[in-house]
Every structure is written in structure tokens, then in C-alpha cells.
Chain A
């Protein structure tokens, strides 16, 4: 097996409709999204033989396989932070291709809005060298944004366009946390959280979750539901172990080309992109690193509604993304995957459904662009792609 192209299909997805869930356990959210994704696929837990989860799964994969009643003969709990679920699709495809399972369930859920936010891991050897100085999620991405502005002339107004596009999409999503369309002026006029990032440059904090079902081509064939075909996948870890940190790029410089090469397509072939948008700068840097524009041109790329569905140059995050819709567990990869599958099925909201999506990209960023991070990229296509 040298390629994952066509090795697996995403045949079921489910996004939890809740955004504030004070009366549910995190495990219960995992059960609800598992139920939803399996129903979407036309499968039951009895059909599942592979279980995939990440750091949000209470008790880890053994405990959750027990809780969900899954007779797993293959498990994977690779934790790339918010990008984990994007990578887990390709890990599921690898396991399916190797005959280790044929129906893989991926679940995620979290309650950072109504419950407690998870603090950074204190056993990370880097912890005292960052926590001591006030490193936080917004501050980490702000350091990258500041350097991006310095090197490439990127402006706050350009970053704001990323949020404007997301809000334009979110107005059509009844489940979205923030449905109000905002302007560039409102974004740059919102209070500074970590200079140069304003409140409206930051994603929302929500409870909720999502799940996906990934199956072999044989299983996909006998299901009635249209699936998204996996065409290519890439992943990468970017860290500072081998050179001083360079804040101008993300791990997408590696995960993107790996995915495109496997899929046999180029950025110009992508009809719709789901890009994990923890902050507006995350999207601008991802667009550059994935090859949608030259390095440093991301701020110019997003101007003039380029990201807006249905007719922008590269419609993105048509559910409103993490900037407006949903950011369950402070991990945005799963919900990005789900919207890409909706777009390929033609099941996005009619106002934002991109006509004739043949190729969709899903990209996740996990961890911190300001320290160390995981990146995962998927290229998905129609069944005949």
C-alpha cells in the first residue's frame, strides 16, 4: 500500500447542535455524536470495529470504547490537539487499508463553555518556560500575527476579512453561536485580547462535539448514503527542537504538499476549503502554507470576499467555522471535517452551498503556532473523483 487514495470513505458525520451543555457529561456528548454519525451512515455500534479518539475522550480510548460499547479490534488516540480528528481520518484509512478494521468511528466532545477549561499540560518539559511568562492561546497566535505583519505588511483589516467571511456564512446556520454579520470596522474596533488580535479575531468557546464514520470501499458500496472519498492525507509536527522558532509559517508547509501529492491534485483544484480557524491569523497562514497563495500574500488573498460562499475564489468554513459557529472542546478539527462532507454531499445550507464541489480540503492546526504544533490536511472528493 503506497497511497491512501480511495482507501476509505467518510460515510457518516454528525455535529452536536448544542453550544452550551451544562447538564451533560463529556462522555455523554461522545455518545450523542457517535449515535448521530452512525445513524447518518446507516450503521450501528455493532458494525464498528475500529475506534478513534483524542485527548478530549474521558479516560482515553479503552474507557470510551467501553462506554460506547464498541468491540474495537483497532484503536488510535493520536493527540495532535485540535487537528487530531483530521489526522484520525487518515489513521482510520491506514488501518482500513491494512485490514485492521472496516468501520471506524471517530468521536470528540468537550465542555469548555459551561465546564472547566483544561489547563496546559504541566508535565510538558517546556511548561515552566512558557507558562511563567503568561503564554496563552491568543497570546501565542498574536506573536505569530505580529511577526507576520512585520515581515509581510499584513494588516488588521486583512485579518478581519477572515472573520467577516465566517460571519457572512454563520448567519445561515441556526445552530451557530454567533449569527450576526460583522464588518471589518467592527472586528478592528473590538477590544484587543492580545495585540494585534482583537476579540473578534478569536474563535468562540463552546461546548459540543462531533463524530465521523470512516469505512472501507466495500462497506461504502453497500450503504445507501453518499460518502466523501479520501484522496490524500498529510500530517506534520512543527517544533523548535531542531532550529529556533520561526513564527512565519505553520506545519501546513509539510502536511499540505503531502496531502496534495497523494491526492494527485493541486490547490487550484480545490472547490471548497475547511480550514481550522482558531484565530484569523491561523487561516491567513494556513492559506499560504497550503499553497493557495505565495508566502506573505495571505492577507491580500482574503480581500474582496475571496473566502465567501458560494462565489468567492475559495469558499471556506461555510458553517461559520470556529470563529462564529462552534469550537467544541477548544478543538476545531472535527467540525471542519463535518462541513467539508456536507459540501461534498450538497447538504450545506443552500445559501452557502458551493455549486459542483468535486474536491474539498480539510486542514487542522493543533497546539500553538507560537510554540509547537500539529498539522493535518485531508483532500476529499466525490465518489468518482
Chain B
């Protein structure tokens, strides 16, 4: 499969007060997740209250390392990706535990395998100063 090395879409992310620190952290080159004050769980999808106990969460930086839990090379993209296929949609299991939806970039799609170690990279969003989109690449 040929490697389409044109960049993936970097849309203006529709963040709100609950999730802005995630995208701003990425803009500063840090992957941050909310962690529960009470039970210590890293929370995904980011939110201000832990879904296990509704205790408040606090933003903490994580390693940005993990492995591919599942992946799909998408050949027919929709909406943002209508003109940018194939691309790899994936779940990455972070070393800290959460499994997060992302893209795998920086390698041919057919090189992606379940269990493959990956690390985070950040694609800046031109339209919004200080915001970036976390994606993952082979570690």
C-alpha cells in the first residue's frame, strides 16, 4: 500500500470548558489526562468528574506511550476525511491504562499491527493558536 504522507486533517476542535486543557496540553507538546482525586483512575473520555465515583478529576501529564489495541485502515472516509483516505483509525492502550481513539501516522497503513508499541506526536491546529491534535506513531 502506498504511503499517503499528506497530513491528516487538523480541524478546529470543538472543545469546551471540560476538555480545553486536553487540547491546550497537546498544543504545548504534553499529553494530559484527567485523573480521579479519589480513586486514582485515569479517565477517558476526559471529564471533570470520575465516572467511577463522580469525584473531581485533576489534569496530569502521562507518558504518551502505549500499544495498538485495534486498528482499521479506512478506505472510505467520511466528513472531515472524505478526501483523505486511506488513513488508520486506531485504539491505543496507553501505558497508564486508558484505551483512546486516535490515528496511527508515520508508517504505511499495512505496517500497523495489534500490540505494536507507539508514542504520541502532536499535529498543530493552524486555525486555533496553542491547540494540537494528539496522534501516535511507531515507537
Chain A residues close to B by CB (< 8 Å): 119, 122, 125-136, 138-139, 142-147, 150, 191-197, 240-242, 244-245, 247, 371
Contact = CB atoms under 8 A, between A and B. Distances in A.
B5 interface: no
Contact of A195 (B11, B73, B133): B73
Interface string B5-25: 000110101110011000100
28 contacts: A125-B18, A125-B47, A128-B14, A128-B19, A129-B46, A130-B101, A131-B80, A134-B8, A134-B74, A134-B81, A135-B101, A136-B74, A138-B76, A139-B74, A139-B89, A143-B70, A143-B89, A144-B70, A147-B69, A191-B75, A194-B74, A195-B109, A197-B72, A240-B99, A242-B51, A242-B52, A244-B97, A245-B91
Given A242-B51, A242-B52, A143 B71 contact: yes
Central interface residue in A126, A127, A244, by most chain B CB within 10 Å = A244
Given A150-B70, A244-B98, A131 B75 contact: no
B91 A247 contact: yes
B72 A146 contact: yes
A126 to B, nearest CB: 5
Given A132-B133, A195-B73, A127 B14 contact: yes
Nearest to B98: A244
Contacts of B74: 134, 136, 138-139, 142, 193-195
Contacts of A147: 69-70, 114
A240 B99 CA distance: 9
Interface string B81-115: 10010010111010001111111000001000010
Contacts of A244: 44, 93, 97-99
Contacts of B13: 128, 132
Contact of B45 (A125, A142, A195): A125
Given A125-B47, A127-B14, A143 B73 contact: no
A285 to B, nearest CB: 13
B71 A146 contact: yes
A313 B30 CA distance: 54
B77 interface: yes
Contacts of A136: 74, 77-79, 81
A208 to B, nearest CB: 22
Interface of B: 8-9, 11, 13-15, 18-19, 23, 44-47, 51-52, 69-81, 84, 87, 89-91, 93, 97-103, 109, 114, 133, 135
Nearest to B115: A150
Contacts of A192: 73, 75
A139 B45 contact: no
A193 B75 contact: yes
B89 A240 contact: no
A161 B98 CA distance: 34
Nearest to A146: B70
Nearest to A129: B45
Nearest to B93: A244
Contacts of B114: 146-147, 150
B72 A139 contact: yes
Contacts of A132: 9, 11, 13, 80, 133
Contacts of A144: 70
Given A134-B80, A245-B91, A142 B44 contact: no
A151 to B, nearest CB: 9
Give the 8 A-B residue pairs with the shortest CB-CB distance, closest first: A241-B51, A142-B72, A134-B81, A147-B70, A244-B99, A195-B73, A136-B78, A194-B74
A245 B99 contact: yes
Given A147-B70, A193-B76, A244-B99, A122 B89 contact: no
